Amino acid sequence: MAVMIHIRMRAARKKKKKGGVSQTREMDAAEVEFLAEKELVNIIPNFSLDKIYLIGGDLGPFNPGLPVEVPVWLALNLKQRHKCRIIPPEWMDTDKLEEIREQERKLDTFTPIPNPHYMELTKLLLNHAADNIPKADDIRTLVKDIWDTRMAKLRLSADSFISQQEAHAQLDNLTLMEINTTRFFLLDSLNYMYKLRSNLHPARTQDY
């Protein structure tokens, strides 16, 4: 899933209302992880149950030994109660992750990631279902390498953007967690740049 960001100087401005400053509530890391828990994975249940009817859609039926697709939050809940075995996502494979890591290291741009919540899902599945993930330690290391490489690129991009005092930047193929990680740094930097530009170019006044 490709993510595109447009950063403009005017985004750094604070909108004022009567009685104070209006602030937009920002998403934190825990909320991004909550969204990741809605991703679907396959499980092998060891119990029988008819369909479950939820607001987000129907789940099941559940039959012992037959794969069924469920949200990650339900898969982890069943796993913790020893009710299922989780089948790792297709991208959670050492060969595929090694290929992504090498491509990420070779290119200056951000490579497309097979899942927009790759870091959150790796953390959730390896923390709670590592016994169901082949080569779990290798996968943890590969995903960490990919994350570190992408974050280094993002820091370099941010430094270049700020040092050159650009008014617009475009970054493709970033995930929500990656954006969230650098959000505070970027916003503080944009506000600082806006104040500097405002002081250098004060608004012209007219005499009446």
Give residue 123's pLDDT.
97
Alpha-carbon distance 184 to 186, whole Å? 5
| CB distance 7 to 174 below 8 Å | no
pLDDT score for 206: 47
Nearest Cα neighbor of 125 from 141, 116, 136, 114 is 136
| 169/6 Cα distance (integer angstroms) | 6
CA–CA distances in Å: residue 23 to residues 13, 20, 49, 194, 199: 11, 9, 47, 17, 23
Taking CB atoms within 8 Å and a gap of at least 24, the contacts of 177-183 are 177/29, 177/32, 177/33, 177/117, 177/119, 177/120, 178/119, 178/150, 178/151, 178/154, 179/3, 179/5, 180/27, 180/28, 180/29, 180/32, 181/29, 181/151, 181/154, 182/151, 182/154, 182/155, 182/158, 183/26
pLDDT of amino acid 58? 94
Per-residue pLDDT of the chain (208 residues; tens, 9 = 90+): 333 333 333 333 334 444 444 455 567 889 999 999 999 999 999 999 999 999 889 999 999 999 999 999 999 999 999 999 999 999 999 999 999 999 999 998 999 999 999 999 999 999 999 999 999 999 999 999 999 999 999 888 777 776 776 656 677 899 999 988 877 766 666 676 667 667 766 655 444 4
This prediction has a pTM of: 0.78
